[in-house]
């Protein structure tokens, strides 16, 4: 700290962040190096203990599917471990195959990035100019907020609105409609920490109401397990709108690696591809991941996906009904594979995570900055690798441990949505 001066707000926030995350690291529940020689089922090993993994975002379990694994191995044999060239110059043929498969899934043009974050960092500075105003949901994914910092540097005004608050969004649209060249609203399809969803239909209704409005959805956590051909929560609820962009990730339900920017406007996708910085100046998706992605598109375009999605929905409903029956302080009971139980303080969150590890379960601790101050809790996810018996056992453990650890202010609130 600088001698003779008080700490800046930035320094205080960084200190708090480091303290919160550092405690999770020191207690062995965050940034954990797993000890497994290989993965065979839904278990992972940490601290010498084998536990069931309820922290994975591979919702359909495709990341360990033998077809994706075999394709990845074949991709390495055919094209090597890496193709060391920017896609601005050359790409292995698998890039074209992956892009064509994704376009069939979306029924729309796509640009394929090395990750969702790099996709945002390419797309948003191209789409949003200094004469525009960008309005963003407070709980939109951190990668969206990160890319908006680049947009802000060019002079664009960035406005943050409370989570899923359509009245606040409408007020900001009307407040900036006359001065801004265009307005952008940025939101998630499925929110990564609380598991709730954007009011997609209401947002698209605003597109029809305000002709200068555009919408950018990050549907990384809704892609794959939901919608026709796995095109996601957003496009399961609404059709393509000419002023809507959808970004998704391939490293979650899809089982591979990469990010995708999709839109009905082919010229827009071409502009993002040609002008987006990370499409020219970052490394490509490598052959193993490209080949796995191609294999995954084939599954998503087959009848098998319908069966996988239906089975995941059945297990989602099992968790949902169990949490409601237990009357735990969950922040959302929407039908997604992400669940958040509010505890109250970081210390009690750490205690709960350790108790669950002792009983054979790993869940994700979450406190500031991953969630707002005062909303510390645990996030757990479910995949098709988590069978019904494992789910029932986790629910039983939560029912025994959570009530005694929630703080009084949390216990006094009914945070559940109606069943």
- pLDDT one-digit tens code per residue, 136-176: 999 999 999 999 999 999 999 999 999 999 999 999 999 99
* pLDDT above 90: residue 308: yes
Average pLDDT over residues 65-71: 98
- Check residue 418 and give its pLDDT: 41
Max Cα–Cα distance, the chain, nearest Å: 68
Please, which pLDDT band fits residue 17 given cuts at 50, 70 and 90?
confident
CB 249 within 8 A of CB 256: no
Token digits of residue 291: 């080949």
**How many other CB atoms are there within 10 angstroms of residue 191's CB atom?**
26
Q: Which has the minimum average pLDDT: 256-260, 383-387, 403-407?
A: 403-407
Q: How do beta strands 376-381 and 364-366 pair?
A: antiparallel
Residue entry with tokens 């930035």? 10
CB 272 within 8 A of CB 125: no
* pLDDT above 90: residue 349: yes
* 400-408 contact pairs (CB < 8 A, 24+): 401/352, 401/355, 401/356, 402/326, 402/328, 402/329, 402/341, 402/343, 402/352, 403/328, 405/343, 405/348, 405/351, 405/352, 406/329, 406/342, 406/343, 406/344, 406/348, 407/343, 407/344, 407/345, 407/348
Sheet containing 376-381, strands listed edge to edge, beginning at the edge strand earlier in sequence:
338-344, 376-381, 364-366
Which residues lie across from 213 on neighbouring strands? Answer: 183
- Which residues, at least 6 apart from 344, have a Cβ–Cβ distance to it below 8 Å? 374, 376, 377, 406, 407, 409, 410
Tell me the CA end-to-end span of the chain in Å, nearest whole number.
51
User: What number of residues does the chain have?
Assistant: 419
Token digits of residue 312: 């995941």
Phi-psi region of 13 (alpha: psi -120 to 50; beta: other; left: phi over 0): alpha
Average pLDDT over residues 309-322: 98
* pLDDT above 60: residue 224: yes
Residue entry with tokens 């303080």? 345
pTM metric for this prediction = 0.93
Closest CA to 337 of 367, 309, 359, 360: 309
| CA 363, 379, 158, 179 torsion-angle sign | positive
| CA 162, 165, 170, 173 torsion-angle sign | positive
With a pLDDT cut of 90, the percent of the chain lying above it is 86
Residue entry with tokens 């899923």? 164
- Which residues, at least 6 apart from 273, have a Cβ–Cβ distance to it below 8 Å? 111, 279
Please count the CA atoms within 13 angstroms of the CA of 151 that sit on its side-chain side. 30
Q: In Å, how far from its chain's centre is CA 75?
A: 27
- Span 38-48, pLDDT tens digits: 998 899 999 89
Which residues lie across from 50 on neighbouring strands? Answer: 45
- Which residues, at least 6 apart from 329, have a Cβ–Cβ distance to it below 8 Å? 341, 342, 343, 377, 402, 406, 410, 411, 413, 415, 416
- Give CA torsion, residues 330, 331, 335, 336, to 10 deg: -100
Domains along the sequence of the chain with CATH: 23-53+304-411 (3.90.1150.10), 66-300 (3.40.640.10)
Q: What is the mean pLDDT of the chain?
A: 94
Does 30 or 114 have the greater pLDDT score?
114
- Check residue 368 and give its pLDDT: 79
- Check residue 4 and give its pLDDT: 55
CB 394 within 8 A of CB 380: yes
Q: In Å, how far from its chain's centre is CA 247?
A: 10
């Amino acid at each position: 700290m600088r001698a003779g001066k008080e700490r800046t707000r930035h320094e205080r926030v960084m200190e708090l962040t480091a303290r919160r995350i550092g405690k999770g690291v020191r207690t062995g529940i965050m940034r954990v190096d797993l000890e497994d020689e290989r993965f065979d089922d839904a278990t992972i090993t940490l601290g010498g203990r084998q536990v069931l993994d309820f922290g994975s975002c591979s919702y359909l379990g495709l990341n360990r599917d033998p077809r994706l694994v075999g394709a990845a191995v074949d991709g390495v044999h055919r094209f090597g471990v890496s193709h060391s060239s920017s896609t601005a110059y050359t790409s292995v043929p698998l890039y074209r195959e992956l892009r064509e498969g994704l376009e069939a899934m979306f029924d729309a043009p796509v640009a394929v990035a090395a990750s969702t974050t790099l996709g945002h960092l390419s797309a948003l500075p191209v789409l949003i100019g200094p004469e525009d105003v960008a309005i963003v949901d407070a709980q939109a994914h951190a990668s969206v907020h990160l890319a908006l910092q680049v947009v802000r540097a060019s002079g664009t005004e960035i406005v943050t609105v409370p989570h899923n608050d359509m009245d606040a969004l409408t007020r900001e649209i009307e407040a900036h409609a006359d001065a801004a060249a265009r307005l952008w609203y940025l939101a998630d399809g499925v929110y990564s920490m609380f598991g709730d969803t954007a009011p997609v239909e209401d947002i698209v209704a605003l597109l029809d109401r305000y002709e200068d409005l555009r919408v950018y959805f990050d549907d990384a956590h809704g892609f794959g397990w939901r919608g026709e051909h796995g095109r996601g929560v957003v496009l399961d609820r609404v059709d393509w709108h000419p002023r809507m962009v959808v970004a998704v990730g391939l490293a979650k339900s899809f089982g591979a690696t990469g990010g995708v920017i999709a839109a009905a406007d082919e010229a827009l996708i071409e502009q993002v591809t040609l002008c987006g910085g990370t499409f020219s100046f970052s490394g490509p998706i490598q052959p193993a991941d490209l080949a796995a992605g191609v294999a995954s598109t084939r599954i998503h375009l087959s009848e098998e996906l319908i069966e996988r999605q239906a089975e995941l929905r059945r297990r989602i409903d099992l968790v949902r009904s169990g949490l409601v029956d237990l009357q735990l302080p969950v922040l959302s009971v929407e039908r997604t594979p992400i669940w958040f139980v509010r505890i109250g303080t970081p210390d009690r969150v750490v205690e709960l995570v350790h108790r669950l590890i002792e009983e054979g379960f790993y869940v994700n601790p979450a406190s500031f900055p991953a969630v707002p101050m005062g909303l510390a809790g645990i996030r757990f996810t479910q995949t098709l690798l988590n069978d019904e018996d494992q789910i029932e056992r986790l629910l039983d453990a939560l029912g025994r441990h959570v009530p005694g650890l929630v703080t009084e202010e949390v216990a006094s609130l009914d945070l559940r949505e109606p069943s």
